[in-house]
Amino acid sequence: MKIAISENSKIKLINILLVLIFSIYGVSKKSFKHDEVSTFQSVMMEVFAPLQQGTMSLKERVDYVFTHYFFLIETSKKNQILKKKIQELENAIFQFEEVQKENERLKELLKFGEDIPREKVLAQVVGWDSSNEFKVLRINKGKKDGIKLKSPVITINGLVGYVYRLSNNYSDILTILDQNNRVDSIVSRTRSHGIIEGLANFKARLKYVVRTEPVEIGDMVITAGLGNIYPKGIKVGKITNIEKESYGLTQSIEITPTVDFHRLEEVVVLIAREEEQKE
């Protein structure tokens, strides 16, 4: 009885093993089957595929825009910084050139006044009476700088005027264009003597020149050194017009100053020494 049961068990075991072997062999040999899509699946593919493609394309574009946007912002910031630095450098160069020009003008002024035996103070024009044809100028030097009343003011081109009012830090100059400023002068060529007074339109006139004096247009007029204000020999202007009236002892002479008051920037104030002031 026991032998029969053992033989049946062996047969069942062998059958099971055979089934498993054939099953594994069948699975290994099975090929993948390509099923055809249905009409519904085809429609869904056609509809959603472009949407998926567009979504991917939009994502790529957004990524591209953001990447380049931030890059452009950063580049723009750098450009602004560079532009600011360039502008600062250009301003510095411009200021350096202006300082250099000013130094050259001041050197010429000092050199021009070497022959004048007076103390010299360089000053800049900081204001003028524009309603009065520049007849009054203001400079940036005053009592603290040794400026004194009635000190003559000159440039390399000629006579400007004299100090008629001052404070600790500033001085006002009454120019030769003002009618209240009278300058004893002589015509350089003929040595004819006269008095220069201010006239309109940036002109002056030479008065009291005797009618018989042979002065001509183009003659240079210089300071005579009289009146104890202006040193002798400083250029004042050129004769630009002469009118001889049919009567009278003198002639009317128009003078154009050698100083260009429109472009006046720096001046030299001549300070008289103590001995000269006492005299």
Each residue's pLDDT tens digit, 146-198: 999 999 999 989 999 999 999 999 999 999 999 889 999 999 999 999 999 99
For residue 84, being part of any structural domain is answered with no
Whether 13 is in a domain gets the answer no
State the CB neighbour count (10 A cutoff) for residue 111.
10
Q: Looking at residue 103, what DSSP letter applies?
A: H
**CATH number of 245's domain:** 2.40.10.350
Residue 18 lies in a domain: no
What Rg, from alpha-carbon coordinates, does the chain have?
52
Residue 85 covered by a domain: no
Residue 206 lies in a domain: yes
Q: Is residue 46 part of a domain?
A: no
- Please check whether residue 183 lies inside any domain of the structure: yes
- Model confidence at 33: pLDDT above 60: no
pTM given for the model: 0.62
Assess if residue 208 is contained within a domain. Answer: yes
Tell me the DSSP string of 176-244.
TTSTT--EEEEETTT--EEEEEE-STT-EEEEEEETT----TT-EEEE-S-TTTSPTT-EEEEEEEEE-
Q: What residues have CB less than 8 Å from 253, skipping those under 6 apart?
A: 194, 205, 206, 207, 209, 215, 239, 241, 242, 243
Range of the domain at 243: 116-278
Number of domains in the chain: 1
pLDDT digits (tens, 9 = 90+) for 221-263: 999 988 778 988 899 999 999 987 767 788 989 999 999 998 8
pLDDT band at 218 (very low <50, low <70, confident <90, very high): very high
